[in-house]
Amino acid sequence: MVAPGGGGGGAASWPSEGELDVVRAKVVEISGRGAGEVRVVACPYRICPLGAHIDHQGGTVTAMTINYGVLLGFVASDDAEISLQSGQFEGVIRFRVDDLQKPIENPENINWESYARGAVYALQNFGYDLKKGIIGYISGVKGLDSSGLSSSAAVGIAYLMALENVNDLVVSPVDNIQLDKSIENKYLGLENGILDPSAILLSRYGYLTFMDCKTATHSYVYFSVLSKSQQCQGELPFKILLAFSGLQHNLPKKSGYNTRVFECKEAARALLCASGCEDASSILRNVNPAIYEAQKCILEENLARRAEHYFSEMKRVVKGRDAWARGDLREFGQLISASGRSSILNYECGSKEMIQLYEILLKAPGVLGARFSGAGFRGCCLAVVESGHRGGGGGVRPGRVREGAAGAGEQDPAGPPRAGLRARVTAPASYSSPPTAVLPVSPEQPRIAVPGAPRRRWRRGDAGVQGWTVVAWASARRAPPVYAYGAWLVPVET
């Protein structure tokens, strides 16, 4: 099955045929159906270079998807029952699509079952008629659930698309964005915006996705007009690194997130009332920047910091979009680092370990900019790195990478020219979390994966080392095929 959506160029690197085969085999095992009946939804994780913590205030944000994510293999059930198993969690979920789903009142009751029920809840509330359930197996990247890459949105969208498929529902990407927002806001009680589902469903390979979260509009920005010919071949002059702290959380269970959203709204309410616009919705996007500058002295200290983060981040997003369009990676990276500092000082998110990791990345040679990924309370830091960097001295160390027998990255000084770089960053003695490997990522354009289409094969960095292992990868050399939008369905072979 193909899903509706726009086109765009990009080389497929995920999922690999091996990953798809594993998911299909699990569905065959638990359903008793033939492999030819199994469909797979692939939802990539996302990163947000600029636009931290402002989507819920109607701000403008930037995003990319990456070449890792969630796979949901499924077949239609014979009735209304949903039966699900997970690669990360034990047990079997069973319920019916005609069961009335009610919002979760206690965040402590949220578990992996909640996202499947939330998808049914959202579709029910939007008036969609569900008659068939699914028998499915869902799996993400081990260790990267709840790590600031929007794995929850990827899971929610995967369930939505599977249920839509078996019930013959035609749902646009824009509507799926709102459906996933309903899962998060109304069913789970998380006061986030539309950044995560929008990034997953709308991003394209080689572009920076620029989104206005108030008007729900988006556009795509090339990495400089001069590099279009290179971009068509996937040869981008930078790498994206994800440094995973080893600390995880389930965002709906973090009261700090909703508290800060409330503080932003309180700051907006105070500023709007002071300017005679008390009837406007209490989001900071409705506050004119000139009004903010004139009235910010009335805000309590914590509200003033939240407002300062919002208005300064809005400026960084616009400057970052323009720097990206010019191909100015240095300014783009500096703005990302400034966003990280504001997230710490003004938005006051991030644990001691996350702040240490952010500071370490800033000192590593070749790193142009870094900040927290996602909410910033736990999870990953992202960094933009010069693709041609060959530094040494404890920062980025030269070294080719080849694929080992188990698929893990191994040192190979004589490796092929298009292999990547390995960087080793030493953790401080005070770092209290177990060190973990960092996954290599590439700007990935979500698409409908077609059997037999050309793929790039990407490999995971070594695990279990002291400090963080950061692996960067070279881009594909061949012009990519054309794919469609967002999360996608892998069609069955006939």
Q: Cα 191 to chain center, whole Å?
A: 17
Which one of the listed residues 196, 322, 328, 412 is annotated catalytic? Answer: 196
Find out whether 180 and 29 touch, Cβ atoms under 8 Å. no
In the numeric block, which tokens belong to residue 302? 């914590």
Q: Which residue has the tokens 């990676």?
A: 329
Task: Dump strand ranges (E) for 109-257.
Answer: 134-139, 207-212, 217-222, 238-244
Cβ-Cβ contacts under 8 Å for 172 (sequence gap 6 or more): 4
- 300/305 Cα distance (integer angstroms): 9
- 480/115 Cα distance (integer angstroms): 34
9 CB neighbour count, 10 Å cutoff: 19
Helix (H) or strand (E) holding 446: none
Cβ-Cβ contacts under 8 Å for 74 (sequence gap 6 or more): 27, 38, 39, 40, 41, 134, 135, 136, 137, 162, 165, 166
Find out whether 59 and 176 touch, Cβ atoms under 8 Å. no
394 CB neighbour count, 10 Å cutoff: 14
Strand partners, 243: 381
175 part of the active site: no
- 200/445 Cα distance (integer angstroms): 9
Q: Helices (DSSP H) in 346-487: which residue ranges?
A: 352-363
Cβ-based burial of 462 (10 A; exposed 0-12, middle 13-18, buried ≥19): middle
Q: Cα 154 to chain center, whole Å?
A: 8
Distance (Å) of CA 92 to CA 82, 87, 278, 418: 10, 11, 50, 43
- 384/195 Cα distance (integer angstroms): 20
Region of residue 336 (left: phi > 0; alpha: psi -120 to 50; beta: else) = alpha
Distance (Å) of CA 110 to CA 105, 191, 207, 255: 9, 15, 35, 13
Cβ-Cβ contacts under 8 Å for 232 (sequence gap 6 or more): 9, 206, 479, 480
Q: Cα 132 to chain center, whole Å?
A: 29
Q: Mind telling me the catalytic residues?
A: 196
